[in-house]
Amino acid sequence: MNSETKTLVGIGTITLAILVGVIYAVSLFSNKVVEPKKVDTSLLIRPNSNSIRVKNAPVTLVEFTDLQCPACGAAYPIVKQILKDNKGKITFVARNFPLVNTHKNAFPAALAAEAAGAQGKYWEMYDKLYETQNAWSDSTDLRAVFIGYAQELKLNEEQFITDFDEQKFKEKINTDMADGNAVGVNATPTFFINGVKFEGSYNELSEAINQIISAN
């Protein structure tokens, strides 16, 4: 074996060793199980958060939502169906996350929902706003629209108007938004299942919830 051949063999051996090392490292990395990262639950659920609470529920589903967001509007009936299909097994929490730079009517809508909530009808207004989203999203007279909804829901109209006009729940909404930013919310809707941020389709959301419930 001449010196040139020895050199080529040596290079080939080194290259093979490096390749084997790379493959081994990639294999270790690909087989590594990454545990889902839970976020601080105190930032997901506040004592005054709007929620449908179920004692000892195996699933706590938190949604950061924008009432004017079309994607949230699309998710709304899916979430309703998930809650219906798993009645008594899910605690559901709705947090305000109006995308104020994109949806000009989202913050006022959140104020209207919270004003209804002060009279014990948050979820009724929440439903109404999603079910009529297309009707008010581009409205230039939101106040009149929302007062009409308050009348339909038989709220104390004077109190609703006062709370809405004075933006009584502005700080609560701002807190929701700050909490959302702190836990990594950058779009709506964003869901958390048992403290873990969910990434996937709406069908996968349902499947993930069903798996947890089945395991319990």
Q: Parallel, antiparallel, or unpaired for β 59-65 and 90-96?
A: parallel
Tens digits of per-residue pLDDT, 140-174? 999 999 999 999 999 999 999 999 999 999 999 99
Tell me what percent of the residues of the chain surpass a pLDDT of 90: 82
Q: Dig out the tokens for 41 from the structure.
A: 């639950």
For residues 91 and 60, the answer to whether their CB atoms sit within 8 Å is yes
| Architecture in CATH of 41-215 | 3-Layer(aba) Sandwich (3.40)
What does the block give as tokens for 207?
Answer: 């499947």
Task: Answer yes or no: are the C-beta atoms of 146 and 96 closer than 8 Å.
Answer: no
Domain boundaries along the sequence of the chain = 1-34, 41-215
Map residue 104 onto helix, strand or coil. coil
What pLDDT is attached to residue 37? Answer: 81
Integer CA distances (angstroms), 207 to 2, 13, 204, in order:
65, 49, 5
Collapsing DSSP to helix, strand or coil, 197 comes out as: strand
The answer, yes or no, to whether residue 39 has pLDDT greater than 80, is yes
**Whole-model pTM?**
0.83
Separation between Cα atoms, residue 123 and residue 35, nearest integer Å: 34
Q: Report pLDDT for 1.
A: 54
